[in-house]
Amino acid sequence: MHKLRLGTRGSQLALAQSRHMARLLQSHLPDLEIEEIVIKTAGDQRSLQFPKLAPASGDGKGIFTREIEHALLNNEIDFAVHSQKDLPPQMPPGLILAATPQRETAADALVSRENDSLKTLPPQARIGTSSLRRQSQLLHLAPQCSVAPLRGNIDTRLRKLDEGEYDAIIVAGAALHRLDIARGVLLDQEDFIPAPAQGALAIQAREGDKSTFELLQIINDASAQCEVTAERAVVEKLGAGCSTPLGARAVLRGNDLHLWAAVLSPDGGNRLFAEAKGTLCDEHHLQEAKLLGEKIAEHLLHQGADKYLG
């Protein structure tokens, strides 16, 4: 029997994601024993101490992953499960992305008390979101609405909606699905572009740990890996931070990869958009996906996206 130690955050969503990955691995490897190790990150501690503040500030990306990566480098765990959109574009030295499992929906979801769509929201509807990207796109698509800060886990956000603090909220559709919450309407991903890598998980391991890498590769999904590679290449080429109102979405159908992205002004008044399609070969598909992402980023920069990069 083989045993692996899985490192995860302790939030309801993180545990649901990690346990799903553990079950998926064990469905392929019935003799595999997985020990769950919960690690508190700086982002978790910040959320507890300052619940009304944004979950990340300044450096942003990595605030929910650094302590877990430190445990991985120190051989305290064997692999970790992250939301891939929380990871910085570059891995810390000594760590690798061992697998990108099959992706959940990348779409954002509108959850309202009246089951509204963006088009049917009443004038001056109060919409809750913690994301500048979502705020900018809301103001661009539904300028009649007002946007208000929204913090907390999914249960907290839904409770605040139901108690009347908001008319609607925007959350990741993947989070609702993974927690079996049957609420909300998924937004069109070409109009309301998701965050790069939204809906995708990252299975992280130590570089050089060949046996663990080979086990984790069993749950790698080539299509999801290709899409996320293209989306994250947009982020890296732009040098975008967590406060950049940037959306990017890639969809792979057969060997055809369609990628589109937008950078917006914070008030939603200006939207810079670019899209491209490419046909990938099997041998170099990840490199080609990365190049397509870089091409999209260059188009956005030529339009003046550097004004909104944070």
- Which amino acids are annotated catalytic? 86
8: closest CA among 89, 91, 78? 78
- Beta-strand relationship, 201-206 and 95-99: antiparallel
Nearest to 189 by CA among 174, 169, 168: 174
Other beta carbons less than 10 A from residue 211's beta carbon: 10
The structure tokens listed for 158 are: 């839904």
Angle between helical axes of 285-302 and 222-238 (0-180°, round to 10): 30
Please state whether 268 falls in left (phi above 0), alpha (psi between -120 and 50) or beta.
left
* Residue of 299, 88, 80 whose CA lies nearest to 206: 80
Place of tokens 């944004």: 54
> How many whole angstroms separate alpha carbon 217 and alpha carbon 213?
6
CA distance linking residue 308 with residue 135, whole number of Å? 14
* Phi, psi at 53, each rounded to 5°: -95, 160
Distance of CA 186 to the CA centre of its chain: 15
Q: Is 96 helix (H, G, I), strand (E, B) or coil?
A: strand
Listed in sequence order, the residues at least 6 apart from 189 whose beta carbon sits closer than 8 Å to its beta carbon are 106, 107, 249
Token readout for 73 is 């480098």
Side-chain half-sphere CA neighbours of 136 within 13 A: 22
